[in-house]
Chain A
Amino acid sequence: MQGAEDANGREGTEMAPTTAADSPLAAALRDRLGDRVVALAEARGETTLEVAPQHLREAAALLRDDPAFRFSELMDLCGVDYQGYGEAEWETSQQATATGFSRGVEGEGPGRFRWSERPQGASVPRRFAVVVHLLSISHNRRLRLRCFCPDDGLPLVPSLTALWPGANWFEREAFDLFGIIFDGHPDLRRILTDYGFVGHPFRKDFPLIGNVEVRYDPDRQRVVYEPVSIEPRVGVARVIRHDAGLAQARAEAADRWQQN
């Protein structure tokens, strides 16, 4: 999860520790939040603030009410599962061309396993995060607020529903899809999945094809649930390339942009 500098020398990623974030917003955040700031990064014109779960509610209240911030709207709240971040299924290093076509995909990449074969046991530090996107209408600014769950066995973060009632459904969604538990949420039920669904489908160790399928059984005259019968199949391998192509392409595009 290390951040790499991209070609323009900007910080290419969010995972990097505190970096040169020097906008007025970043300065104000550092000033008001002090040592509650775990990380503060700016990339692509967006500010990302990371706080610890125990400080989340306090920081959020400050962000909403302090005249310097006034983040009156919570636009989005979602869970992220960082398991397998930065892992490719297809190592295209020097040997890739030497071995020709023998580059078949191996392992249990995303979407390539069934419910019974799902990867289990491996504990990933800083696996689940809650990412909140705030919007300040009076200052015309956005802020991304991130909070990692300390325990990935029982991901627990405080709820923000008391501050922004609109967080209610977003938190229910994150609970449903990732199993993140929001402490203090008034009504933490599943929202998008079926009644009686088992598992949290957007976790990286949940199969893409799902676990059960439903059909109507004419004999029993009701809908029955059965294990999925389809094969897991993903057509394209997941690869990571750090070729110069994009940097060059970007420079060319910038030139052309000026000509137009």
Chain B
Amino acid sequence: MEEIRNYTMNFGPQHPAAHGVLRLILEMDGEVVMRADPHVGLLHRGTEKLAESKPFNQSIGYMDRLDYVSMMCSEHAYVRAIERLCGIEAPIRAQYVRTLFDEITRILNHLMWIGSSALDLGAMAVFLYAFREREELMDCYEAVSGARMHATYYRPGGVYRDLPASMPQYRESPWHKGEDLKRLNAWREGSMLDFLAAFAGDFPRRVDEYEELLTDNRIWKQRTVGIGVVSPEQAQAWGMSGPMLRGSGIAWDLRKKQPYAAYADVDFDIPVGANGDCYDRYLVRVAEMRQSNRIIRQCVDWLRANPGPVMVETHKIAPPDRESMKSDMEALIHHFKLFTEGYCVPEGEVYSAVEAPKGEFGVYMVSDGANKPFRVKLRAPGFAHLSSMDTIVKGHMLADVVAMIGTYDIVFGEIDR
């Protein structure tokens, strides 16, 4: 009799369902996965080492490029680490602006997730719907920072500048004209907060649209219900966090349990799954979008009512404004020192974690008192999640691996760093 051997399959690194550059060596018995060995690191850029060679502020931009679908949340963890080492606290308005943008980021991330993982499992339309709303939120990114994705908007001591008083509008072009143009600009007559209020008023209806396409969809449920079940014990043993942990029924959310920014003052719920399968994680993420929308509404109301500074006025850390720089010698010196040498951060070490859309994003920072960090370690949620791949997908079919990669919500920018 001929010897029957397992078949080894190379999945990726260029597979469209691999969400980037995941190379997966799958040992198959027929169509059943016996062993999965993810090879990561194809996008390794040595961010942590690069950060050691630069003044603190120059690495904020790298944080955007880690998890490039939830940019500002990574920035948040990094600037908070610096703030805690220096012992400074951003003004309350900056805290609300950060809360607002963290939640915008969460919606951006979950929209990307729902679109792309539905696409992986054969549902094309959701992707188109999700990207429609992503566009509007990316316009908010652009309005505050000038960049649609890699914003570098959070700074130690606050945020780069206050929210803009007007929202950029579409101009007439061969592609946007007449009624179409009027519809696109309907929300953009006032400030950015007006735009966001209009967006937040409309967004629950949009989430209903995605749910209509997926939640009771027979094919979607066949592909996700009972697939990739993660028990609460497993989730903890593998260091999971975020929707992966909540999908398994553990109500753990840093925004509630260890509040930062203005999360202690806003009202929201933590959605929790029951079975820990791919479908539950889908439901958790959809519910999180609705909760984020609630937080955005509250932040918009607060920010409208409470003007104030968005940056600390200690010029040892935050640069003085351009105007005083032109007339005030002291301000000019501060500006020069900050942008050439940077500031020295007191000796010590700190671990600052935020609830990023994918889970706990942590920055462990060691400072020896210099103007550059001595060591920065970025704790990416996706790295811990992906390491459990072998255990979770063992015994599943090949097609379920794709469903599982989808619900891990992996982005290689943060896993490979």
Determine if A123 is an interface residue (Cβ-Cβ < 8 Å): no
Return the chain A residue nearest B379 by Cβ.
Answer: A76
Determine if A249 is an interface residue (Cβ-Cβ < 8 Å): yes
Question: Could you say which residues of chain A place their CB within 8 Å of the CB of B86?
Answer: 246, 249-250
Return the chain A residue nearest B351 by Cβ.
Answer: A133
Selected contact of A240 from candidates B50, B250, B258, B370, CB within 8 Å = B370
| A137 and B237 in contact, given A76-B362, A236-B371 (Cβ under 8 angstroms) | no
Q: Are the CB atoms of B340 and A131 closer together than 8 Å? A: no
Smallest distance from the beta carbon of A64 to chain B beta carbons, Å?
Answer: 10
Question: Could you say which residues of chain A place their CB within 8 Å of the CB of B342?
Answer: 236
CA distance A140 to B258 in the complex (A): 8
Q: Are the CB atoms of B350 and A46 closer together than 8 Å? A: yes
Determine if A147 is an interface residue (Cβ-Cβ < 8 Å): no
The segment out of A7-15, A22-30, A32-40, A214-222 that lies at the interface is A7-15
Return the chain A residue nearest B371 by Cβ.
Answer: A239
Q: Are the CB atoms of A78 and B40 closer together than 8 Å? A: no
Q: Are the CB atoms of B239 and A74 closer together than 8 Å? A: yes
Determine if A191 is an interface residue (Cβ-Cβ < 8 Å): yes
Determine if A202 is an interface residue (Cβ-Cβ < 8 Å): yes
Return the chain B residue nearest A1 by Cβ.
Answer: B368
- In chain A, residues 166-186, which have Cβ atoms closer than 8 Å to a Cβ of chain B? 166-170, 173
Q: Are the CB atoms of B44 and A193 closer together than 8 Å? A: yes
- In chain A, residues 57-82, which have Cβ atoms closer than 8 Å to a Cβ of chain B? 72-76, 78, 80-81
Determine if B388 is an interface residue (Cβ-Cβ < 8 Å): yes
| A166 and B46 in contact, given A4-B347, A75-B362, A246-B316 (Cβ under 8 angstroms) | no
Q: Are the CB atoms of B347 and A3 closer together than 8 Å? A: yes
Return the chain B residue nearest A4 by Cβ.
Answer: B347
Selected contact of B391 from candidates A75, A137, A165, A234, CB within 8 Å = A165
Determine if B393 is an interface residue (Cβ-Cβ < 8 Å): no
Interface 1/0s, chain B 327-350, versus A by CB < 8 A?
A: 000000000000011111011111
- In chain B, residues 53-109, which have Cβ atoms closer than 8 Å to a Cβ of chain A? 53-55, 84-89, 91-93
The segment out of A114-122, A223-231, A251-259 that lies at the interface is A251-259
The segment out of B171-179, B210-218, B307-315 that lies at the interface is B307-315
Question: Could you say which residues of chain B place their CB within 8 Å of the CB of A80?
Answer: 366, 375, 377
Q: Are the CB atoms of B40 and A165 closer together than 8 Å? A: no
| A169 and B312 in contact, given A110-B52, A192-B40, A192-B416 (Cβ under 8 angstroms) | no
Interface 1/0s, chain A 197-215, versus B by CB < 8 A?
A: 0000110000010000000
CA distance A234 to B313 in the complex (A): 30
Q: Are the CB atoms of B372 and A252 closer together than 8 Å? A: no
Q: Are the CB atoms of A72 and B308 closer together than 8 Å? A: no
The 6 sampled A-B contact pairs (Cβ below 8 Å) are A76-B362, A140-B257, A192-B40, A239-B344, A240-B369, A242-B369
Task: Spell out A's residues near B (CB within 8 Å).
Answer: 3-4, 6, 8, 12-14, 43-44, 46, 48, 72-76, 78, 80-81, 85-86, 88, 110-111, 131, 133, 137, 140, 142, 144, 164-170, 173, 190-194, 201-202, 208, 234, 236-243, 245-246, 248-250, 252-254, 256-257, 260
- Extra 7 A-B pairs, beta carbons < 8 Å, given A191-B40, A256-B313: A13-B349, A76-B377, A86-B369, A234-B53, A238-B372, A253-B88, A260-B91
A-B pairs, top 4 by smallest CB distance, nearest first, are A249-B314, A166-B239, A169-B387, A192-B41
